[in-house]
């Protein structure tokens, strides 16, 4: 599987624009090309996609973690660029055409699942591969322990990519092999110091291949 970070607070590639928000493209075996979140600004999203040679028309589905502007702000511009997106997975309804509301842990494809809306605010997405689950999180507003335990219903967690907000119970990551904190993560330095062999720097342009 391959995760390409398109939108982030920092830029891994100097030719890409950093901005407050998060979005990544997820390509996994036997599943559609899914855009996880859309960042805050559609123009920045589409500009970074162009530089990354990602055609908006190649995106088949969109998965929205939660309805904060820095995760959903680019959606309208994306839908203008690609009005043929088949499904938009949301934690609750906002009246979009083609939306799928996910309240409970649910498989959306053979090897892709949603944790469902946790604590009334946010869902995360998991991709199952031979090494285990790669969990993609937007901001981790729900308690991290709750996110991880919900994801574990689908198997063992191999890695986690995305925003982790103020998460500081670092021992919860002891059994995880890949940690790529992005966006709103407040304790990147601590995670890097504790888990140097597992840590991968995020930023727009970073590509995670597993």
Rounded-to-integer distance, Cα 210 and Cα 134, Å? 9
Does the pLDDT value for residue 94 go beyond 90?
no
Rounded-to-integer distance, Cα 146 and Cα 137, Å? 12
The pLDDT score that the predictor gives to residue 67 is 95
Q: Phi/psi of residue 147, each to 5°?
A: -60, -50
Does the pLDDT value for residue 140 go beyond 90?
yes
- For the stretch 114-125, pLDDT in tens is 999 999 999 999
pTM of the predicted model, to two decimals? 0.97
Topology of the domain comprising 2-209 = Metallo-beta-lactamase; Chain A (3.60.15)
Does the pLDDT value for residue 97 go beyond 90?
no
Assess contact for 81 and 57: CB atoms under 8 A: yes
Does the pLDDT value for residue 95 go beyond 90?
no
Cα 193 off chain centre by: 23
Q: What is the mean pLDDT of the chain?
A: 97
Assess contact for 134 and 178: CB atoms under 8 A: yes
Q: How confident is the model at residue 23 (pLDDT cuts 50, 70, 90)?
A: very high
Report, in this order, helix, strand and coil percent for the chain, each rounded to 5.
20, 30, 50
Does the pLDDT value for residue 100 go beyond 90?
yes
In the numeric block, which tokens belong to residue 164? 């982790």
- For the stretch 151-210, pLDDT in tens is 999 999 999 999 999 999 999 999 999 999 999 999 999 999 999 999 999 999 999 999
Percent of the chain at pLDDT > 90 equals 96
Average pLDDT on 51-72 reads 98
């Amino acid at each position: 599987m391959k995760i390409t970070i398109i939108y982030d607070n920092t830029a891994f590639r100097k030719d890409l624009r950093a901005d407050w928000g998060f979005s990544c493209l997820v390509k996994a075996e036997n599943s559609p090309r899914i855009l996880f979140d859309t960042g805050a600004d559609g123009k920045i999203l589409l500009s970074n996609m162009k530089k990354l040679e990602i055609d908006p028309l190649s995106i088949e589905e969109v998965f929205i973690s939660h309805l904060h502007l820095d995760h959903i702000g680019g959606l309208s511009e994306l839908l203008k660029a690609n009005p043929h997106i088949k499904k938009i997975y949301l934690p609750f309804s906002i009246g979009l055409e083609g939306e799928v509301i996910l309240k409970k842990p649910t498989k959306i494809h053979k090897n892709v699942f949603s944790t469902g809306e946790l604590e009334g605010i946010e869902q995360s997405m998991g991709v199952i591969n031979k090494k285990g689950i790669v969990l993609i999180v937007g901001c981790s507003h729900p308690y991290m322990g709750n996110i991880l335990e919900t994801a574990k219903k689908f198997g063992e967690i191999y890695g986690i990519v995305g925003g982790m907000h103020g998460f500081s119970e670092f021992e919860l990551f002891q059994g995880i092999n890949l940690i790529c904190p992005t966006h709103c993560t407040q304790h990147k330095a601590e995670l890097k110091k504790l888990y140097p062999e597992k840590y991968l720097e995020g930023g727009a342009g970073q590509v995670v291949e597993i």
